[in-house]
Structure 1
Amino acid sequence: MTDPIRQAYQEAARHAHSSILRHPPESMATTLRRLADRAEAADAPDYYGTGSLIEDFEARVAAMLGKPAALFLPSGTLAQPMALKIHAGNRTKQVIGMHPTSHMVLHEQNGYQHLWGLEGRLIGNKQQVLSHDDLRRQPPEELAAIVLELPMREIGGQLPAWDDLQAQVNWARQHNIAVHIDGARLWHCPAYYQRSLAEIGALADSVYVSLYKDIGGIAGAVLAGDAGFIDKARIWNRRAGGNLISLYPYILAAGQGFADNLASIDQAVEYTRRLGPLLANVADVRVNPELPQAAMFHLHINREPQVLVQAATGYAQQHGIVVLPIPRATEKGRSVCEISVGRRTMEHPPEFWQQHLRDCLATS
């Protein structure tokens, strides 16, 4: 993808009045004004991880996830290997079991190895959810922890069945292997499993959640677990440089994101279940998974990425409607586009997006 094509798409997307992706946008200035209003209710900024602003927020998220304690962190890229380092130290083992599509494998330059001294064992088929059968085929004696990503982004937000998920956790428990949930998009899961975040979080020794993807904060993450685990995480956070003097803009933004977006995520999951099959009926489009399980899915479109982006750009320029993101991958000659559903998507009925996707692809 050349820079001019990418820039033209981004410019058209900025001026569009409708988009199939995520939440309604707002300018930096608008965001900061809203956060300034929110800050009026706060007594003081946080200071190196202390103060009511950050401590109350951590307690709130811990309760949501059914954990005794939590730690606000700048990023999931810090939160997850930190959690696994603690589990490894508790068991004097360094091997972590994870799916081949784990974010730590694909998108973090193998930081868990180079910075944190951990070893990865890739488990399962990269095209399928991790399963109990995948784990049972592993020799468990070297494993300190396993990572369960819920939902699994790289395969369109797929989730294991609840019974299989419980079996995976029971297998780990039987072998004294810690369970860590990569919950970057965990907010999607209650609608699918028909269980609370706390019930899902109870499966794991530690849980990470993102505060900017579906929640709509500026940045940030929370790591939750028992009190002893979080005490150790605070020490590692200091060692790793994540214990910033103040994080209040991110905390305020996350709180605003909860107010704006959290209640809509269950609705987004239900909406996505209707949207996915409709888009699968458009010529040259395949949806993965066929019936979405989360507020996201992937479109596999029989077009070259550059051709597809130029068509989406032209359509946005002409109609003010963004029907596709820039493809994130290619697979078997098809462009793979990730559709993340939010309040902006739901401003229109699913049939609206089906018709506009069909019309856009007809121009390519």
Structure 2
Amino acid sequence: MPETEPNSPSESTADTPGGAPEETPEQALRHRLTVFRGAKHTLAEQGVDHTLAERLTALLTDGAEVYDLDEFTDIYGNGAVTELERRTAEELGFPAAAFFPTGTMAQQVALRCWAARTGNPTVALHPLAHPEVHERQAFSQVSGLRTVHPTDEPRLPTAEEVLGFEEQFGTLMLELPLRDAGFVLPTWDELVAVVEAARERDAVVHFDGARIWETTTHFGRPLREVAGLADSVYVSFYKTMGGLSGAVLAGSESLIAEARTWRHRYGGQLFQQFPAALAGLIGLRKELPELPSYVAHAKVVASAMKEGFAEAGVPWFRVHPEPPHTHQFQVWLPYDAEVLNAASLRQAQESGVCLFRRWFPNPSGPAGLAVTEVTVNAPGLAWSAEDVRAAVAEFVRLLS
């Protein structure tokens, strides 16, 4: 599933058999965003819902709370970028950190650095991990890395699977949470055991922590303790923290110094990055403290959705996981994605309720099943369980 709304406009507009022009992908995207933006009740605010003017205004207004806007702009990574690196390293409990324009670049750099240090270019990770599904084989095509899979179950590997895996690997990469499996997490004891198993095999441990910010409630541990299990951690600023773009790789002083060299070689030494850096600092100030409340309310929303589908007589559905491990979870329904997308759009347009956004066909298994991802953040805190059940009942009526 794509990270955000797809945006691939056609070069021309075809005609339908009736003579009316078909909507181009760009027009369809704009229509969806306009409808969802206009909804009065939504479970989550998303960056794509805002205009350029709104995002720029927010940077000016909120940016003044986190950085001196009378300072000069950054030049090749100083200024606000350095401050974001410092703050992120502090939050994660690492001595150093480096800002990257994308997480794809940050993790390639981290893992090729570890490959050089361990002498082993093999990375053990889950087949549903982001680099395997969403990055066009970047590890092998660009960085010369090889991947292996200790398990293909829809969860992170166990300590036994790591210890008993038949191939040697230099790095164990764990995505926390495992997004494409349903934003799932192991227990704290399971995570500790997996890390210890990797170390027993003389492997280093890297966390794909794009969404590690919201794992503390599930683990019952502070962020520093969670991140501190790994040798290096990558975090994202636009997926949970409401930022514009960008990522930070945190680790030891020597690792980050080496990573900065590779960042330059990969083309990530951008001239100015202050909008992304400011947005990241704002996220650390405003969103990070609120995440436990989002996670707690996601459990209320998920439970109410389950009740709503049962009350509406839907013959089969799944809310996964039960309860959610973070403030995001999956919903599965036995309909084609096109039907569900049309109902989601219609509900938002007619009643001003944005319950679901994009549905996707079942990536594996039988046809006729579709899945969506539900996120609960600040706007969703206003929804009661009854609000959720009512919205589900209305959504199901639109499917008939």
TM-score (norm 1): 0.94
Q: Which amino acid aligns with 2:190?
A: D
SS of 1:231's equivalent? helix
1:27 aligns with 2:44: no
Aligned to 2:18: none
Report the Cα offset of residue 23 of structure 1. Answer: 5.1
1:175 aligns with 2:198: no
Cα distance in 1 for partners of 2:341, 2:322 equals 23
Report the Cα offset of residue 14 of structure 1. Answer: 2.4
Report the Cα offset of residue 20 of structure 1. Answer: 2.2
Q: 1:301 to 1:71 in 2, by over 3 A?
A: same
User: Would you say the 8 A contact 2:155–2:185 is kept in 1?
Assistant: no
User: Would you say the 8 A contact 1:155–1:289 is kept in 2?
Assistant: no
* Higher relative contact order, chain-length normalized (CA < 8 Å, sep 6+): 1
Aligned to 1:11: 34
Please, which moves more after superposition, 238-247 or 282-291? 282-291
SS of 1:339's equivalent? strand
Aligned to 1:100: 127
User: Would you say the 8 A contact 2:206–2:233 is kept in 1?
Assistant: yes
Cα distance in 1 for partners of 2:37, 2:317 equals 25
User: Would you say the 8 A contact 1:207–1:223 is kept in 2?
Assistant: yes
| Residue among 86, 90, 109 paired with 2:117 | 90
1:59 aligns with 2:86: yes
Q: Which segments of 5 or more consecutive residues in structure 1 lack a partner in the other structure?
A: none
Q: Which amino acid aligns with 1:361?
A: V
User: Would you say the 8 A contact 1:97–1:122 is kept in 2?
Assistant: yes
Report the Cα offset of residue 72 of structure 1. Answer: 0.9
| Residue among 338, 359, 362 paired with 2:394 | 359
User: Would you say the 8 A contact 2:345–2:357 is kept in 1?
Assistant: no
Report the Cα offset of residue 321 of structure 1. Answer: 1.1
| Residue among 213, 217, 227 paired with 2:243 | 217
What are the Cα deviations for residues 319-349 of structure 1, in whole angstroms up to 9, with x where unaligned? Answer: 0111112113415331100011111222322
| Residue among 194, 206, 209 paired with 2:232 | 206
Report the Cα offset of residue 126 of structure 1. Answer: 4.0
RMSD, aligned α-carbons: 1.9
Q: Which amino acid aligns with 2:276?
A: Y
Aligned to 1:270: 296
Aligned to 1:44: 72
SS of 2:249's equivalent? strand
Cα distance in 1 for partners of 2:360, 2:222 equals 31
Aligned to 1:302: 334
Cα distance in 1 for partners of 2:45, 2:220 equals 23
Q: 1:83 to 1:329 in 2, by over 3 A?
A: farther
User: Would you say the 8 A contact 1:76–1:221 is kept in 2?
Assistant: yes
User: Would you say the 8 A contact 2:84–2:280 is kept in 1?
Assistant: no
SS of 1:83's equivalent? helix
User: Would you say the 8 A contact 2:121–2:169 is kept in 1?
Assistant: yes
Aligned to 2:377: 342
What are the Cα deviations for residues 87-137 of structure 1, in whole angstroms up to 9, with x where unaligned? Answer: 000011110001010100000000010000000102212423322122122
User: Would you say the 8 A contact 1:22–1:342 is kept in 2?
Assistant: yes
Cα distance in 2 for partners of 1:328, 1:179 equals 32
Q: Which amino acid aligns with 2:352?
A: G
Cα distance in 2 for partners of 1:79, 1:205 equals 14
Q: Which amino acid aligns with 1:170?
A: E
Aligned to 1:316: 348
Q: How does 1:252-291 map to 2 (within 5 A)?
A: 252-281=278-307, 282=309, 283=314, 284-291=316-323
1:122 aligns with 2:157: no
User: Would you say the 8 A contact 1:23–1:343 is kept in 2?
Assistant: no
SS of 1:363's equivalent? helix
Q: 1:27 to 1:257 in 2, by over 3 A?
A: farther
Aligned to 2:11: none
SS of 1:115's equivalent? helix
Task: Report percent identity of matched pairs.
Answer: 30
Q: Which amino acid aligns with 1:188?
A: E
Report the Cα offset of residue 225 of structure 1. Answer: 0.3
